[in-house]
Amino acid sequence: MKITALVENTSDGVLKAKHGLSLYIETAGHKILFDLGPDKTVFANAERIGVDLKAVDTVIISHGHFDHGGPLKDFLAINTKAKVYIQRTAYEPHYSKAGLLKINIGIDKSTAGNPNVVLLDGDYKIDDELSLFVSKAEDKLKSDANKALFKADSPDDFRHEQNLLIHGEKDVLFTGCAHSGVVSILESVPARPAYCIGGFHVYNPVNRKTVPVNQLEFLSQSLNDYSDIIFYTCHCTGKKAFDYLSGRHKNIRYISAGNVLEI
């Protein structure tokens, strides 16, 4: 399996950095995009390193926020064969609030009617290699970074969030933002993975604040039970939290735009 970070908040210097996430994954049976980032940055970055997005056969949108599915309409215009898997509830209204300011962070609803978009209601097995699942365990962390996120006029419950498990010689879990809690997701995963890739959502991009140290320490302690898993975190984890966690766990690393992992 080869994983290339096409979009991420930081960059190795070759690709453009952008707040969001998009991972290009090549497996024995698929060419996959896990999320698309916030805008057309994914197209420019892919072209720069020779990734042909027209050859992608599978797209997973982890949840209904624009920084993960912003250019979906543009992608569907250039790729007419790929199946796009997304939870049906991802198309519900999603907002971020900062004081009296209400910001639409949802994705383009018009794409829901595209024949290549597969609307899901929970877990779904694509084939023997790819399976999607939603978290079923209670979020033990209760990250403060989630408090600014809403669906319509109620706090977001993140039921629109799904995770990808790729089965192989070593199973790999992709979590997007892990709004529902990375530990909760790990408690819900059908098979214990060797790798877990995605953000921990302990950083709020609106106010640019990391969650309090006591929450980071709780997460750190919880991750002690997963010392056999190699974590590549990114995006909504933030540098402060990454430094804190990686200083306590040798199995936590960072993936930036342009980085390539071969598993």
pLDDT given at position 100: 81
What CATH number is given to the structural domain containing 161?
Answer: 3.60.15.10
The count of structural domains within the chain is 1
Confidence grade of residue 164 (pLDDT, cut at 50, 70, 90): very high
User: What single-letter amino acid sits at 141?
Assistant: L
How far apart CA 174 and CA 130 sit, in angstroms, is 11
What are the CA-CA distances from residue 175 to residues 100, 161, 205 (Å)?
31, 9, 18
pLDDT of residue 45 exceeding 90, the answer is yes
pLDDT in tens, 23-34: 999 999 999 999
pLDDT of residue 153 exceeding 90, the answer is no
What are the CA-CA distances from residue 188 to residues 134, 148, 165 (Å)?
8, 25, 11
**In sequence order, which ranges of 209-261 are alpha helices (DSSP H)?**
213-222, 239-246
pLDDT averaged over the chain? 97
- Domain residues for the domain of 40 are 2-262
Which SS3 state, helix, strand or coil, does residue 242 take? helix
pTM: 0.97
pLDDT in tens, 171-209: 999 999 999 999 999 999 999 999 999 999 999 998 899
pLDDT given at position 37: 98
pLDDT in tens, 206-238: 889 999 999 999 999 999 999 999 999 999 999
pLDDT in tens, 108-127: 999 999 999 999 999 999 99
pLDDT in tens, 8-27: 999 999 999 999 999 999 99
pLDDT of residue 65 exceeding 90, the answer is yes
Query: Which are the contacts of 145, defined by CB distance < 8 A and separation ≥ 6?
Result: 201, 202, 203, 204, 209, 210, 211, 236
Percentage of the chain modeled with pLDDT above 90: 95
Q: Judging by DSSP bridges, how do beta strands 22-26 and 31-34 pair with one another?
A: antiparallel
How far apart CA 193 and CA 171 sit, in angstroms, is 5
Question: In 3D, which of 220, 256, 257 has the Cα closest to residue 239?
Answer: 256
pLDDT given at position 206: 84
